[in-house]
Chain A
Amino acid sequence: MRGFDISSIVNLNGTAHYVHWHFFLMSVPNLVVIVLMLIVFAVALFLRAPGAKRPGGKK
């Protein structure tokens, strides 16, 4: 059995850090994913899709 792979640039096999507030306990990697989703969602609301023009004909 090879165990975990070491051929990655960043080794994520160490212990994660956790955010603990009252009964809320979340790993930092999971929190990063959630925050990233919120940021990407917010940015997507403000950005235009490729090919869409601003009213007045300019992109």
Chain B
Amino acid sequence: MFRGGRLTNAELNEAARHYDGPYRPYDIVKEVSVATGVVMLIAVILTILFSSPDLPPSTIASWSRSMPTDFVTTALSELDGTSETATYGPPYNHESGSVQQLAFIHLQQWLGVSHPVNAEYDLIIAPLRTIPDAPALQAAVTTYVHAPAKTQAAWTNAYSNALGKATEKQGGAVTVPAGSYGPVGPMMSSLLALAESGGLDGDLLSSKQFYQTDYTKPLLFLEDGSALDDRATYQHLQGTQWGMMNETGSYPGQVWLWLYTFWYQVQIGGLSTSPNVDAIVMAIMGVLSAAFILVPFLPGIRSIPRRIPVYKLIWRDWYSATGAPSKPPRTGDDAPALPSLRPTET
């Protein structure tokens, strides 16, 4: 209870229930209509001046053509199970690479695998199986799929090392030094050709049904590579760049997300580098949002407007017109009756 002033919080609330003072004419419908017209005009002026941003999306085709080595490196990581998608965890699979928790609360795990994505099969094997009239390729895929895990790992590790010394032709092939990669070599070069032709974009989208709005597979694949990442860094959209509140180009962004992105910059207590940073930030913002909604009930917070009297500026005309009383209104049996709110009692 704030006693720096004269009234308790309860007395202040009671005093605010009633007003029996003067009114003046007011046209509420006109005010809202004029306000709407003014805002529409401002929006149209801003549109004519600045338009809005529309950077074309990356596709698997555009990514594989402009960054073929990066594409093949990513595809290999999907095949050998080391990519971020392959190791993510729920809701995509049962791994734990990106699983977060808040103390003993494991919501991500508890809500389970609801959008199963098998990186090796869905992103690599299944699309390769759709390539027609390629018996050598299909034999290579069959060899890979039936090989023991250790053999598969030997092939993929060797190929991964070779990619470090690869040469590429944009829109064309990736050439690695000779080595024993088993069927992995032809699988990767066929997948690259499929991607560059645009076929992989379509394959990943319509693998289960013709009409599809679920871009989970192509977007996870794209995100595992560098195409989106490099563009995001250039546009200052990374988490470490306060990216959550930024827009592409020089447009104003989502300024209201300033406090969400702020926590990702806090290094105290290892917050910004914690594997649970997303869960922690969401929890912090949940608590702060609840506190924001409940301001009227928070002692201390609800007293701030009385401690820092900005209200004296807002109601200065009223105070000078009514003559500010030197004593607060009295309450109790001998106090004058509090004025009532027109037109009906609250």
Q: Which residues of A contact B (CB under 8 A)?
A: 1-5, 7-10, 12-18, 23, 25-30, 32-34, 45-46, 48, 51-52, 54-55
Contacts and interface: CB of A to CB of B under 8 A. Distances in A.
A31 to B, nearest CB: 9
A28 B245 CA distance: 12
Contact of B246 (A4, A9, A27): A27
Given A8-B49, A30-B252, A55-B320, 9 more contacts: A3-B54, A7-B51, A17-B250, A23-B265, A26-B245, A27-B236, A30-B246, A32-B252, A51-B24
Interface stretch (B97-105, B148-156, B310-318): B310-318
Nearest to B34: A50
Interface in B1-36: 24-26
A4 to B, nearest CB: 5
A39 to B, nearest CB: 15
Nearest to B241: A25
21 contacts: A1-B56, A2-B54, A3-B55, A4-B51, A4-B53, A7-B51, A8-B50, A10-B49, A12-B53, A13-B250, A15-B234, A16-B236, A16-B246, A16-B250, A25-B241, A27-B247, A30-B245, A33-B252, A51-B25, A52-B317, A55-B317
Interface in B221-257: 234-236, 241-242, 245-253, 255
Chain B at the A interface: SS class:
loop
A2 B57 CA distance: 11
Nearest to A14: B250
A34 B54 CA distance: 24
Tell me whether chain A's interface is mostly helix, strand or loop, or mixed. Answer: loop
B242 A12 contact: no
Interface of B: 24-26, 48-56, 234-236, 241-242, 245-253, 255, 265, 267, 310, 313-314, 317, 320-321
A55 B317 CA distance: 6
Contacts of B236: 16, 18, 27
A10 B242 CA distance: 25
A2 B55 CA distance: 9
Given A4-B53, A5-B52, A30-B255, A12 B310 contact: no
A16 B246 CA distance: 10
B317 A48 contact: yes
Contacts of A32: 252
Contacts of A17: 250
A17 to B, nearest CB: 8
A45 B249 contact: no
A4 B248 CA distance: 11
B253 A15 contact: no
